[in-house]
Amino acid sequence: MEKRKLGNSGLEVSALGLGCMRMSFGDTPTDKQEMLTFMHKAVERGVTFFDTAEVYGPFTNEELVGEALEPFKGKVVIATKFGWKHGEKGPHPSVGQDSRPEQIKRVAEASLKRLRVEVIDLFYQHRPDPAVPMEDVAGAVKDLIAAGKVRHFGLSEASAEQIRRAHTAQPVTALQSEYSIWWRNIEAEILPTCEELGIGVVPYSPLGRGYLTGKIDENTSYDSTDIRSRNPRFQPDAIKANRVVIDLLERFGAEKGATPAQIALAWLLAQKPWIVPIPGSRKLERLDENLGAVKIELTPTDLDEIAAAMAQIKVVGDRY
């Protein structure tokens, strides 16, 4: 597996990471033992970068990841996140945000235990908290780094200005943000800011919540617990209208002997050498398909053709 460094930090990870959220959180129940085995298989295939958060579950996803990866201490990088309030049943986005320094430090201690590690490799703020200055957030993580409890500081879905403010107080190693061939809003300001400051970018939903695999059509239905059942891009009219994106991926896939998903991931990998997508997966065949993207080379001419084609496409539906 090819390795990449997240910006100037020196943090080296596999070129593709693994988003673990849906292994224990979301619409479809999973078997714990199957997921433990699945993560072991991912490590065997060279994946060294795993993404979780305390809010996934809540708590259960960190516990699952911690149990699965305990045998591989020192060989893998685990990223987790802070930033939500704690209700009686635990943290959840609907409860509200909480990135106060005391909360960040409390979450770090709890996450260390659930992940079964002595230090958190990469600690993201899950979303900017309008009630807490970015400098205070960065300062709290700086204290945790000084105490040997965190190695690297990350942000998620932050603006260019927020990134700069945080980076001044404590160098930011990585920004996690939605980014894919059909959601490119970070290209205008955020990507250039990360490049200037030496910050790696970790795209989540790099396959457009599954749409870019080409396996979804207007007849696909979702359970009410699935976020896609309410997502504007997954309504029948939008699914049909956006088929032109899949047609484009299929055309290049035919030339490269690749699937639409592999082209979508290869496109992301070709944008910058410090970009590390984290597609979520729970099936071995899907994981193997995704990992195959690392070996696909899109030439500058390919990328120019894709850019020209996408410039003519208006993607239908907001991302949320």
Residue 124 appears among annotated catalytic residues: no
Q: How many CB atoms lie within 10 A of CB 229?
A: 13
For 266-271, the CB contacts below 8 A with 24+ separation are 266/293, 266/294, 266/296, 266/297, 266/298, 267/181, 267/298, 267/303, 267/306, 268/179, 268/180, 268/181, 268/203, 268/206, 269/15, 269/16, 269/293, 269/294, 270/297, 270/298, 270/303, 271/191
DSSP per-residue letters across 136-166: HHHHHHHHHHHTTSEEEEEEES--HHHHHHH
Active-site option among 56, 179, 204, 211: 56
* CB burial readout 173-190, b (16+ within 10 A) else e: bbbbbbbbbbbeebeeeb
Q: Are 80 and 62 in contact (CB under 8 A)?
A: yes
| Residues taking part in catalysis | 56
